[in-house]
Structure formats: structure tokens, C-alpha cells
Amino acid sequence: MFTGLIEEQGKIRNCRLSANGMELTVACSKILSDIKTGASICVNGACQTVIDFGADYITVQASNETLQVTNFKNLKVNDMVNLERALTLNTRIDGHIVSGHVDCTARFVNSEEDGFSKRFFFKLPENFSKYVIYKGSIAVNGVSLTVASIEKDIFSVELIPSTLREVNLSNLKKGEIVNIETDLFAKYVEKILNSKDNTSKINYDFLAENGFV
């Protein structure tokens, strides 16, 4: 599990794509302090296992499943990726619970200045906007953010300058693809509500009555 608070940006040193998946070597420094083989690292929002590391790099292997649902297949040498180590039991969760299991990708639409912040707009694939709510949490390339608006399949988030300096979203170009992890609990609720043998007291009326929808 992760918090969505990015520890550093790493630079892709090598990416080898094959029929078996992709092997990524990422130059980094901060996340190496307690690294070990087998450790979980969130790379652009996707949980990956460290298979090798050195004084200034880590190597991970992305499966074909990961390549299908993330922007990894678009990565190239010298690209910057967001990195975060797995949280520990004594870690403050200042972001939100991020599993590192990317749901889909979204397309960057545009950005606009909003006071000292910058608002970014993204277009979701069909059927994923139902998991996104106003003021809810969302992870964009692994960054924990709050949904500032949602209209049909377009949502926006606000980033303050200090966040923009630490993550790889500031230089997004129109049409660029980002990884999205929606709210974990929304998907559990959906499954409960849609279950044919649902005996739970949770239903749409209950959620509406208690301010969840």
C-alpha cells in the first residue's frame, strides 16, 4: 500500500520491451535508503517489485497485464517517473490509501492557472467516471489528489506549486496519457450493490440517506 505522496522523480535509464513484458531501470536516490530485492515500489502509480538495485538505480519488471492498463508502454529513456516506497505501520497517511493497482489510463486535456495553483483536466475512458466523485480522492501517475470537478468523463484536479515541483505532471502535453487509480471503496460498494445474492443492508437508498451519493 502507498499514500500517493511522491518521494522523488526517477529518470528512465533503460527500458526493454519483449513478449514477456517490460524491464525498467530507473535512476534514483532517495528511495534507495532501505531498498532490498523484492521491495514494492510505486512507479507512476503502478506497484512494481524490485528485482535488482545499485548505488543509483532500481530495476523492476512490468507484466503484460501492467502494460495493458498503464502508460508504461509509452515510456522511453530519459522520461521522468514518480516513485514512492510502500508505507509502513508507523507512517502518517497524509495522502490517501493507494493500492498501486492502476485501473485505467486517462488523457490529458489541458491545464489552466487558478490563483497560485494550476488546474489539470483529464478525460477518462467510458465507464470509469462512475468511480470518481467531487472532492473524492484519485491517484494520477501515483500522485494523491482531490477531485476538483467531474462532468461526464472529464475530471479536474488542483496542484499547488510545491507539488508540481515534486511530480512529473507539470510538463504534460495535450493528449499525453497518465495512469489512474480510482477510489478503492467505490468498487467494493458497486460489487455489493450489483451482487445477485446481496444480503447487505447497504443499498442505493442507504447511501443517499447517509450522504454518500
List the chain domain ranges: 8-85, 104-184, 185-213
Task: Kindly report the CATH class assigned to 104-184.
Answer: mainly beta
Q: Do domains 8-85 and 104-184 have the same CATH topology?
A: yes
Q: At residue 202, does pLDDT exceed 70?
A: no
Mean local confidence (pLDDT), 141-150: 97
pLDDT at 97: 85
Q: What is the pTM of this model?
A: 0.87
Greatest extent of the chain over all pairs of C-alpha atoms, in Å? 56
User: Which three cell numbers mark 181?
Assistant: 487509480
> Could you say which architecture CATH assigns to the domain 8-85?
Beta Barrel (2.40)
Residue range 68-77, pLDDT digits in tens? 999 999 999 9
Q: Who has greater pLDDT, 1 or 91?
A: 1
Summary mean pLDDT of the chain: 91
Of residues 90 and 134, the one with the higher pLDDT is: 134
As a whole number of angstroms, the distance between CA 72 and CA 19 comes to 14
Whether the per-residue pLDDT at 93 is higher than 80: the answer is no
